[in-house]
């Protein structure tokens, strides 16, 4: 009880913020299109007009902005939307003050740019601002660490809270003295004693209703709470997550990419890096060679200079997120030689579990149905935080009242002992 109480009090503010912002982030794409339509939306000039190839649009943007770097490129663009380029600058001294560029794929016109998360730019950064608040509290790396530690405590407290709802074990009655047989009341079964924990007494007084909402609310969405808590650890406290999941056989994709740099073959005369156009074609070819059966869905290309590879993301029928793009091929950026292949169909159980909890957390499965449920779960997380604090405050007041009554009943201690 004490562990749950102090864990809940320490987490209340963090979980309330995460719950409220998570309700909005469940509808990130829809709200982004509403808050920044001038950047996100791009209608074809004439019906049936075809969009330009993203590789061409990237090359054009680099020509327009010398010194700009765009290592990540979406290879698929949703109809009616712009191409979003996340960029950096080769020379920080000449950076332009923005890190996202939006291009109309039909006309190649630049729709605008923004510095992701900077709310001073106005409504166009509303959703990125909420995203930063959601997982860093706007405190940068320190906030991310704090939220990661909070997520870890939350994960452990899920089990503590569940245990506290279980019915108390009945004491075994003493061995009775033989007497004439008579009717006795049979003690209620285990489920019958646990059943009240799942129920809410809607007509009860304020404190009883608050207690029921906290206990029953936590039970009804317990599995979802655990999924969101543990996936939050995967986002913000990666070393802990990979260590625990590694015991189950999960792979660490970031560490695997970093290790490719050390194992990269040294060529006598290094070849120039493949262009993005060549890399996109090479990635598609390698995906087919791996029998990955590319399927309609998201595709993307990411150049990782530190590892000397291109990573080609594509969609197969085994991918979990709605938009796909979870299967990956990594190949040398000079030679095109395959270095790493991770089609979703060949992922082990632990990696599939990671894919699932991340997709559930990001509301990327089951369309609007799951988005609605995530919104409800976010509201419940906030409710659990508020009711937990109210329960603690009520009990604290009761303890203070009991102390005062005890002092009044026993009377003040007027005797004093003085040294001779």
How high does pLDDT run on average in the chain?
88
Q: Which pair of structure tokens corresponds to residue 295?
A: 């399927």
pLDDT above 50 (res 13): yes
Residue 332 DSSP SS3 = strand
For residue 40, the Cα-to-chain-centroid distance in whole angstroms is 23
Residue 272 DSSP SS3 = coil
Q: Which pair of structure tokens corresponds to residue 94?
A: 């000449």
User: Helix 206-220 crosses helix 222-236 at what angle (to 10 degrees)?
Assistant: 70
| Position 416 confidence tier, pLDDT thresholds 50, 70, 90 | very low
Instruction: List the beta bridge partners of residue 10.
Output: none
Q: Which pair of structure tokens corresponds to residue 381?
A: 């997380």
Alpha-carbon span 196 to 93, nearest angstrom: 64
Q: How many beta carbons lie within 10 A of that of residue 412, not counting itself?
A: 7
In eight-state DSSP terms, residue 119 is G
pLDDT of residue 235: 95
pLDDT of residue 411: 64
Contact present, 90 and 136 (Cβ < 8 Å):
no
Contact present, 382 and 293 (Cβ < 8 Å):
no
Q: How many beta carbons lie within 10 A of that of residue 351, not counting itself?
A: 18
pLDDT above 70 (res 284): yes
Alpha-carbon span 154 to 284, nearest angstrom: 41
State pLDDT tens for residues 347-365: 899 999 999 999 999 999 9
Give the predicted TM-score (pTM) of the model.
0.87
Q: What is the pLDDT averaged over residues 160-183?
A: 73
State pLDDT tens for residues 224-235: 999 999 999 999
Q: What is the pLDDT averaged over residues 231-241?
A: 95
pLDDT of residue 179: 63
For residue 302, give the H/E element and its range.
strand 300-304
pLDDT of residue 92: 84
Share of the chain above pLDDT 90, in %: 64
State pLDDT tens for residues 376-408: 999 999 999 999 999 999 888 888 888 888 888
* In the block, residue with structure tokens 């056989």: 249
State pLDDT tens for residues 306-317: 889 999 999 888
pLDDT of residue 420: 45
Residue 134: closest CA among 121, 143, 122, 125: 143
pLDDT above 50 (res 266): yes
pLDDT above 80 (res 177): no
State pLDDT tens for residues 82-130: 999 999 999 888 888 999 999 999 999 999 999 999 999 999 999 999 9
pLDDT of residue 273: 83
Contact present, 104 and 38 (Cβ < 8 Å):
no
Alpha-carbon span 95 to 365, nearest angstrom: 37
Q: What is the pLDDT averaged over residues 33-61?
A: 93
First-to-final CA distance of the chain: 48
Q: Which pair of structure tokens corresponds to residue 304?
A: 């990782």
pLDDT of residue 58: 97
Alpha-carbon span 103 to 82, nearest angstrom: 6
Q: What is the pLDDT averaged over residues 207-233?
A: 94
pLDDT of residue 291: 63
Dihedral, 20, 22, 28, 31 alpha carbons, nearest 10: -10
Contact present, 382 and 2 (Cβ < 8 Å):
no
Of residues 338 and 321, more confidence is placed in: 338
In eight-state DSSP terms, residue 41 is B
Alpha-carbon span 402 to 131, nearest angstrom: 45
pLDDT of residue 10: 87
Contact present, 311 and 256 (Cβ < 8 Å):
no
| Position 345 confidence tier, pLDDT thresholds 50, 70, 90 | confident
For residue 316, give the H/E element and its range.
none
Alpha-carbon span 335 to 311, nearest angstrom: 14
């Amino acid at each position: 009880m004490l562990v749950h109480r102090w864990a809940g009090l320490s987490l209340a503010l963090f979980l309330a913020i995460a719950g409220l912002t998570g309700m909005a982030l469940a509808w990130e794409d829809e709200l982004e299109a509403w808050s920044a339509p001038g950047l996100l939306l791009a209608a074809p000039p004439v019906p049936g007009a075809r969009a330009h190839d993203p590789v061409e649009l990237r090359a054009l943007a680099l020509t327009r902005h010398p010194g700009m770097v765009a290592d990540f490129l979406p290879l698929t663009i949703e109809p009616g939307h712009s191409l979003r380029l996340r960029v950096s600058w080769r020379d920080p001294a000449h950076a332009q003050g923005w890190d996202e560029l939006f291009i109309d794929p039909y006309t190649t016109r630049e729709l605008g740019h923004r510095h992701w998360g900077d709310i001073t730019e106005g409504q166009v950064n509303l959703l990125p601002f909420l995203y930063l608040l959601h997982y860093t509290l706007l405190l940068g790396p320190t906030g991310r660490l704090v939220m990661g530690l909070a997520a870890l405590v939350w994960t452990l407290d899920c089990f503590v809270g569940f245990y506290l709802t279980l019915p108390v074990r009945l004491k075994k009655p003493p061995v009775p003295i033989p007497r004439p047989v008579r009717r006795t009341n049979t003690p209620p079964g285990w489920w019958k004693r646990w059943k009240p924990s799942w129920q809410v007494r809607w007509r009860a007084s304020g404190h009883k209703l608050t207690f029921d909402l906290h206990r029953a609310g936590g039970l009804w969405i317990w599995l979802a709470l655990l999924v969101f808590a543990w996936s939050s650890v995967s986002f913000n406290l990666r070393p802990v997550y990979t260590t625990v999941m590694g015991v189950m056989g999960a792979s660490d994709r970031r560490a695997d990419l970093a290790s490719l740099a050390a194992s990269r073959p040294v060529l006598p005369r290094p070849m120039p890096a493949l262009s993005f156009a060549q890399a996109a074609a090479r990635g598609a070819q390698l995906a087919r060679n791996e029998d990955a059966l590319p399927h309609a869905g998201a595709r993307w290309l990411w150049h990782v200079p530190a590892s000397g590879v291109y990573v080609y993301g594509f969609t197969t029928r085994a991918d979990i997120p709605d938009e796909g793009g979870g299967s990956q091929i990594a190949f040398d950026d000079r030679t095109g030689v395959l270095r790493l292949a991770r089609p979703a169909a060949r992922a082990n159980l632990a990696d599939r579990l990671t894919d699932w909890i991340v997709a559930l957390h990001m509301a990327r499965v089951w369309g609007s149905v799951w988005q609605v449920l995530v919104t409800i779960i976010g509201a419940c997380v906030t409710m659990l935080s508020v009711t937990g604090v109210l329960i603690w405050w009520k009990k604290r007041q009761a303890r203070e009242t009991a102390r005062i009554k005890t002092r009044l009943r026993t009377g003040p201690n007027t005797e004093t002992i003085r040294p001779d």
